């Protein structure tokens, strides 16, 4: 089983999307297929071969190509669309000029036919070619409507000329195609701009790197030549070329383009570096660990592309309507032609309202309404350190009624911090802390790091240091023997046990000298974020594997009333299922590793990936459909605001697409649009309708 993405050619509306999806899903070996009109791509899962898929799509009247196929280059396609539009407008201009009052420009019929034919059947050949191919497969789409409309208009004008009519309608057919091509070109430009997020992400990585040769000199080479294990120098002001680890040097690194965090972070030997981040202040020597598609930057781009191609549930409504829309419009156009012919007694008054119905009803906007909004919104999110793997999960976040939070690393900072020191035996708190920190200076234990980070000033030298696994450490400081650890290791009872954290004691030969209470620290922004979520009528729950005391303490400090402590991964899963059984839409935020079952069960799983951004994001990315690369809880609010705004844009686009057809089709059928240009106005309105939904979606690029 595999997942592949292909380029699809020939799609112009929601009906095309449905036809291509139907063809792909009917291919033996395909388990699922999703087609996106905004990106002109298909995502196929299963064991089918490319040749088999391409044949099925070709049989449906469309084209399937591998993404690396040069014909799929969007810039090249845009250039071709520009040429078609320009040629059509140049040839149509004289025909329209003859209609300007006072200009007294009357072109002979043969010249009007000569100017309009290349527009209708040359520049507009794509409409006719696709319509014919679809007709052979008993299908209909926007191309069917445009091809029929423009061909009927030109054919009737030809008949008028051959019968010596004084006023011909060649300009109607030519202007119809010219306006449609102009609208499609502007739409393609806007769609290309909407897809910029992927290019911006991939452009963060530099094209070259300074690689160290065996003789110790550095030489500039293409990044594509780097392999894991290479040593690379990154100069100040330059971008990191690959994922790796600092070997020498200290500098600040700006990771904002990946995580959204505005402040540079310090990096020293042993710290990880991520491709695309910017080094400031000094040069860094690094060892390459991942290159190309294996870098975090490439995985981010892959996730964005995958999400932009995913289907939002709101798209289902458009798909159901498009299945019957084009056949219904063909019937309405036929009825319009028959009714006007019957009322007026002649075909001359009947064809224009019928053609106007055909053209103005093209469901382009309907097909673009949802996917282009998803594409733009998720691209904007990626630039702010919010990775969305599935558009459905983002929509679920906007509808969430309950948010379940893990404690360690989610509600809290995820590392032990010194909360207080209780001196005993006549020692001061400062002396107890300094001796304890000196003993723990070389230890990698999380509790040791919490003690050392709390100490101020220079530490004391230690001799005879020994680590006692599961108990503590011992050593000599200024000639005195000290032991630091838990009660069992020290062999001394502690005067108190603190339910809010872990207690460590310092002792010498005379007895206990002091106690240090360490515990996880609540994120500074947690109370404000919890209050903001409550204000939005979201119920908060804390579900953690920690003990009851620390769990209750953190929940109360944050303002969360619902607490489940001592929960194993399967208990978190059951808690989420219980809430869903009660009708709740549940979002779950966890660390993306031991919370994987809960993240998968939730309607929207949120992986707090800020720490993973520096220590390997692969697990966090794989665990949840939504990954927050920025630290803290505030990005949850940002992600929900994005979800709500994207849903609002989708609703606006769908409302516009539906209203456009519902209002204008009856006006076209009853001839109310004839005085405003009839088929010409229809072509212009259809193009503007599609452009409107794309431009409306582009407002999400300014989301903040």
Q: What's the rounded Cα separation, in Å, for the pair 262 and 260?
A: 6
3-state class of 245 per DSSP? strand
- The top-scoring range by mean pLDDT among 115-119, 421-425, 672-676, 695-699 is 115-119
Beta bridge pairs of residue 14: none
pLDDT, average across residues 504-530: 89
Residue 612: predicted pLDDT:
38
3-state secondary structure 303-345: HHHHHHCCCCCCHHHHHHHHHHHHHHHHHHHHHHHHHHHHHHC
Q: Assign domain 2-74 to a CATH class.
A: alpha beta
Two structure tokens written together for 53: 């898929």
The domain locations on the chain are: 2-74, 208-293, 387-411+523-637, 413-522
3-state class of 671 per DSSP? coil
Q: List phi, psi (to 5°) of 498.
A: -95, 120
Q: What is the DSSP letter of 71?
A: G
Burial string for 208-218 (b: 16+ CB within 10 Å, else e) reads ebbbeeeeeee
Residue 71: predicted pLDDT:
40
Q: What's the rounded Cα separation, in Å, for the pair 609 and 620?
A: 6
Q: What's the rounded Cα separation, in Å, for the pair 690 and 376?
A: 15
Per-residue model confidence as pLDDT tens digits over 457-485: 778 999 988 888 767 889 999 889 999 98
Residue 569: predicted pLDDT:
73
Residue 559: predicted pLDDT:
93
Q: What's the rounded Cα separation, in Å, for the pair 525 and 539?
A: 18
Task: Please tell me the least confidently modeled range out of 113-117, 288-292, 662-666.
Answer: 662-666
Q: What's the rounded Cα separation, in Å, for the pair 356 and 359?
A: 5
Give the residue, 29 or 682, on which the prediction is more confident.
29
8 A C-beta contact, residue 261 and residue 611: no
Q: What's the rounded Cα separation, in Å, for the pair 9 and 129?
A: 13
8 A C-beta contact, residue 354 and residue 334: yes
Per-residue model confidence as pLDDT tens digits over 292-326: 877 877 776 666 666 555 555 666 666 666 667 77
Identify the band that residue 104 occupies on the pLDDT scale cut at 50, 70 and 90.
low
Q: What is the dihedral of CA 229, 235, 239, 242, to 10 degrees?
A: 0
Give the residue, 74 or 85, on which the prediction is more confident.
85
- Our CA angle for 365, 12, 67, nearest 5°, is 120
- Of the chain, the percentage scoring pLDDT greater than 90 comes to 18
Tell me, which fold does domain 208-293 have in CATH?
Answer: 2.70.150
Q: What's the rounded Cα separation, in Å, for the pair 564 and 32?
A: 38
| Domain at 387-411+523-637, CATH homologous superfamily | HAD superfamily/HAD-like (3.40.50.1000)
Query: Is 0.85 topped by the overall pTM?
Result: no
Q: Considering the candidates 143, 390, 406, 603, report the single residue annotated as catalytic.
A: 406
Pairing label, strands 218-222, 243-248: unpaired
Give the residue, 89 or 495, on which the prediction is more confident.
89
Name the average pLDDT for the chain.
Answer: 81
Q: Within 13 Å and on the Cβ side, how many CA atoms surround 302? A: 14
Q: What's the rounded Cα separation, in Å, for the pair 382 and 628?
A: 9
pLDDT, average across residues 9-29: 84
Q: H or E element: which one contains 60?
A: none
Alpha-carbon distance values, 461 to 35, 443, 464, 465 (Å)? 66, 14, 10, 10
Per-residue model confidence as pLDDT tens digits over 177-220: 887 787 677 667 766 665 555 566 566 778 899 999 988 889 99
Q: What's the rounded Cα separation, in Å, for the pair 477 and 454?
A: 19
Give the residue, 551 or 661, on which the prediction is more confident.
551
Q: Within 13 Å and on the Cβ side, how many CA atoms surround 129? A: 11
Two structure tokens written together for 630: 């920025």
Residue 611: predicted pLDDT:
44
E strands, 320-411, in order: 386-388, 402-405
Task: Please tell me the least confidently modeled range out of 135-139, 284-288, 609-613.
Answer: 609-613
Q: What is the DSSP letter of 347?
A: G
3-state class of 634 per DSSP? helix
- Of the chain, the percentage scoring pLDDT greater than 70 comes to 84
Per-residue model confidence as pLDDT tens digits over 241-298: 999 999 999 888 887 655 545 557 788 898 889 888 888 888 999 999 988 877 877 7
- The top-scoring range by mean pLDDT among 355-369, 611-625, 635-649 is 635-649
Identify the band that residue 344 occupies on the pLDDT scale cut at 50, 70 and 90.
confident
Q: What's the rounded Cα separation, in Å, for the pair 207 and 218?
A: 16
8 A C-beta contact, residue 21 and residue 33: yes
- Residue 650: is it exposed, middle or buried by C-beta count within 10 angstroms (0-12/13-18/19+)? buried
Has 196 been annotated as catalytic?
A: no
Q: What is the DSSP letter of 624?
A: -
pLDDT(495) > 50: yes
pLDDT(567) > 50: yes
Residue 109: predicted pLDDT:
87
Q: What's the rounded Cα separation, in Å, for the pair 40 and 486?
A: 63
Identify the band that residue 619 occupies on the pLDDT scale cut at 50, 70 and 90.
very low
Residue 191: predicted pLDDT:
62
Q: What's the rounded Cα separation, in Å, for the pair 205 and 244?
A: 13
Identify the band that residue 102 occupies on the pLDDT scale cut at 50, 70 and 90.
low
> CB pairs under 8 A, 24+ apart, for 600-607?
600/624, 601/573, 601/576, 601/577, 602/404, 602/576, 603/393, 603/396, 603/399, 603/400, 604/393, 604/394, 604/396, 604/397, 604/400, 605/393, 606/397, 606/636, 606/639
Pairing label, strands 539-543, 402-405: parallel
Give the residue, 623 or 109, on which the prediction is more confident.
109
Residue 403: predicted pLDDT:
95
Pairing label, strands 243-248, 30-36: unpaired
pLDDT, average across residues 355-380: 75
Q: What's the rounded Cα separation, in Å, for the pair 541 and 587?
A: 10
Q: What's the rounded Cα separation, in Å, for the pair 628 and 606?
A: 7
Quick one: CATH architecture of 413-522?
A: 3-Layer(aba) Sandwich (3.40)
């Amino acid at each position: 089983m595999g997942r592949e993405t292909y380029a699809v050619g020939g799609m112009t509306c929601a009906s095309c999307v449905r036809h291509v999806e139907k063809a792909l899903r009917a291919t033996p070996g395909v388990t699922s297929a999703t087609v996106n009109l905004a990106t002109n791509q298909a995502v196929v899962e299963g064991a089918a071969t490319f040749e088999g898929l391409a044949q099925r799509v070709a049989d449906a009247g469309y084209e399937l190509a591998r993404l690396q196929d040069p014909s799929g280059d969007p810039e090249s396609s845009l250039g071709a669309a520009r040429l078609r539009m320009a040629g059509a407008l140049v040839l149509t201009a004289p025909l329209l000029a003859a209609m300007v009052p006072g200009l007294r420009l009357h072109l002979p019929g043969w010249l009007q036919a000569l100017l309009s034919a290349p527009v209708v059947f040359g520049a507009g050949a794509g409409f006719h070619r696709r319509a014919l191919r679809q007709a052979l497969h008993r299908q209909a789409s926007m191309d069917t409507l445009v091809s029929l409309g423009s061909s009927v208009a030109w054919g009737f004008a030809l008949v008028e000329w051959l019968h010596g009519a004084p006023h011909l309608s060649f300009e109607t057919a030519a202007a119809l195609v010219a306006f449609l091509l102009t609208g499609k070109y502007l739409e393609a430009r806007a769609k290309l701009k909407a897809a910029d997020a992927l290019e911006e992400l991939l452009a963060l990585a530099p094209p070259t790197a300074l690689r160290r040769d065996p003789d110790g000199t550095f030489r500039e080479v293409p990044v594509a030549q780097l392999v894991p294990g290479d040593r690379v120098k990154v100069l100040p002001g330059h971008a990191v070329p690959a994922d790796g680890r600092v070997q020498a040097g200290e500098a600040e690194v700006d990771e904002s383009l990946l995580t959204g965090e505005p402040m540079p972070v310090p990096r020293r030997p042993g710290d990880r570096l991520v491709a695309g981040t910017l080094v400031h202040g000094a040069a860094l020597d690094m060892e390459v660990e991942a290159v190309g598609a294996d870098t975090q930057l490439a995985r981010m781009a892959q996730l964005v592309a995958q999400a932009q191609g995913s289907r939002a549930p709101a798209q289902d409504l458009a798909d159901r309507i498009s299945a019957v829309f084009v056949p219904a419009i063909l019937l309405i156009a036929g009825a319009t032609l028959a009714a006007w012919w019957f009322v007026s007694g002649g075909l001359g008054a009947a064809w224009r309202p019928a053609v106007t119905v055909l053209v103005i009803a093209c469901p382009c906007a309907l097909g673009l309404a949802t996917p282009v909004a998803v594409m733009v919104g998720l691209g904007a999110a990626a630039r702010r350190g919010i990775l969305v793997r599935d558009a459905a999960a983002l929509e679920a976040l906007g509808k969430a009624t309950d948010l379940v939070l893990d404690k360690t690393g989610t509600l809290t900072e995820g590392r032990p911090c010194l909360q207080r020191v209780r001196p005993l035996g006549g020692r001061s708190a400062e002396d107890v802390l300094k001796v304890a920190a000196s003993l723990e200076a070389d230890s990698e234990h999380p509790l040791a790091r919490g003690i050392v980070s709390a100490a101020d000033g220079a530490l004391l030298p230690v001799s005879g240091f020994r680590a006692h696994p599961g108990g503590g450490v011992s050593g000599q400081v200024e000639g005195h023997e000290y032991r630091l650890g838990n009660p069992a290791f020290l062999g001394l009872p502690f005067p108190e046990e603190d339910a809010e954290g872990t207690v460590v004691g310092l002792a010498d030969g005379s007895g206990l000298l002091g106690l240090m209470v360490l515990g996880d620290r609540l994120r500074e922004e947690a109370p404000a974020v919890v209050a903001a979520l409550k204000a939005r009528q979201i119920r908060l729950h804390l579900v953690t594997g920690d003990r009851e005391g620390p769990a209750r303490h953190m929940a109360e400090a944050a303002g969360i009333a619902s607490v489940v402590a001592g929960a194993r991964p399967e208990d978190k899963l059951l808690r989420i299922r219980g809430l869903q059984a009660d009708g709740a839409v549940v979002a779950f935020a966890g660390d993306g590793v031991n919370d994987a079952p809960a993240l998968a069960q939730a309607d929207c799983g949120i992986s707090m990936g800020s720490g993973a951004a520096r220590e390997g994001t692969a697990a966090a990315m794989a665990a949840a459909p939504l990954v927050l690369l920025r630290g803290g809880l505030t990005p949850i609010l940002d992600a929900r605001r994005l979800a709500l705004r994207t849903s609002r844009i989708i609703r606006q686009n769908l409302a516009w697409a539906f209203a456009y057809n519902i209002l204008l089709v009856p006006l076209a059928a009853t001839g109310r649009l004839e005085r405003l240009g009839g088929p010409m106005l229809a072509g212009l309105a259809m193009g503007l309708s599609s452009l409107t939904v794309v431009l409306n979606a582009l407002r999400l690029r300014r989301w903040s």
